[in-house]
Amino acid sequence: MFKIESPATAIHTNLAAIFISIELSQSTWLITSLSPGNGEKMSTHSVAAGNMAGLFDLLSKLRERSRTRTGHSWQIISIQEAGLDGFWIHRTLQDNGIESHVVDPASIATPRRHRRVKTDRVDGEALLRVLMAYKRGEPRICSMVRVPSAKEEDRRRIGRERKTLTVERVAHVNRIKCLLFSQGITDYEPIRKDRRQRLEELQTGDGHRLPAHMKAQILRELDRLELVLEQIRVVEDERDALIAAQTTEEKPSPVTMLLEIKGIGAEFANILWSECFFRQFNNRRQVAAFAGLAPTPWQSGSIDREQGVSKAGNPRLRTALIQMSWLWLRHQPNSTLAQWFKARVEHSGGRMKKSAVTALARKLLVALWKYTTSGVVIEGAIMKTA
């Protein structure tokens, strides 16, 4: 005899809260909700983007309807994707007693069909299912973002703004050099302080003065370059003042401890502090994964190979660590990390330097994490003199 099973419902769970997902856009917020006593049926609502008063009014109505059906007042749990809207919505919800979560959208599994359905309604329902699975404790269902505090978020703007200004500076310098190269001039450096005086003395490759319109264009480029250089100086002064304020604390901060190591300057120390060491990690793999330096294996049946680092973490932190690793080899040649790199490169016959320095960056990050959290000094590292 075959047992006839009852038709399965869409969602099997014992709801103990009102679950909502917020699909954000520039014009409209789509709210998908699932409330106790609503027959396990998802409902969708929309409010104008940025209308927090309308959102809270909607949440109050959802809570009142659920109380009317069940006789209980339920907690509201929300989820949203990390994106251009930042974390102000998350903080506002938390300040009003609502449990809020921000999810990394790249960590949510999606159908692998070539043409899959993609609408805000479908995305909202998918977010809601992810939230419920996360609250049930299902492992690896998604990656929730560790939202920094407003102070931590504001502090890391200094390093990011300096990086943007540096890229702009390089663009202006290259543009000026390219213009002059087209006239046969190759020995002009726009970064030097005597750049304007040198510009007046330049002659083209055939011995003539610079054309009037080209000279005017280069002068305007120099105006913009000097503005960028001044802004970089202001940002660096703000960075140094922020670091100096940390030295007055009784317990040394991570940035102060990092500056004690030879080869680590104010910029690298500030990046490590503001981009990584502001949060807590449980183990070294979490530290490496946060920077996108954790290995990514590929195993299927008899296939077992390594795909390299994941690059799924913080790109600014990863770039700084690669640069710091090359400088580490110069300033800390007798450390165990530098000796490990040299032995590995020699074993491969001088090849694979790029992959070896990436591995060195991972080891260096873990070692610096242990140093700033537990005081474990890197073996063989030279500290700066007082």
Q: What pLDDT, in 10s, does the model give residues 38-85?
A: 767 899 999 999 999 999 999 999 999 989 888 888 999 999 999 999
Max CA distance (Å), the chain? 102
The per-residue pLDDT for range 155-182, each reduced to its tens digit, is 999 999 999 999 999 999 999 999 999 9
pLDDT of residue 328: 96
Tokens of 91: 């903080």
**Region at 184 (left for phi over 0; alpha for psi -120 to 50; beta for the rest):** left
pLDDT of residue 15: 63
- Domain boundaries, given as residue ranges, for the chain: 17-147, 154-246, 254-374
* Structural domain 17-147, CATH architecture: 2-Layer Sandwich (3.30)
pLDDT of residue 36: 86
pTM, full prediction: 0.83
Please check whether residue 59 is in contact with residue 20, taking contact to mean a CB–CB distance below 8 angstroms: yes
The per-residue pLDDT for range 78-96, each reduced to its tens digit, is 999 999 999 999 999 999 9
Tokens of 57: 């009014």
Q: Measuring CA to CA, which residue among 255, 267, 242 is closest to residue 372?
A: 255
Is the pLDDT confidence value at 13 over 60?
no
Give the Cα separation of 374 and 133 in Å (integer).
35
Is the pLDDT confidence value at 12 over 90?
no
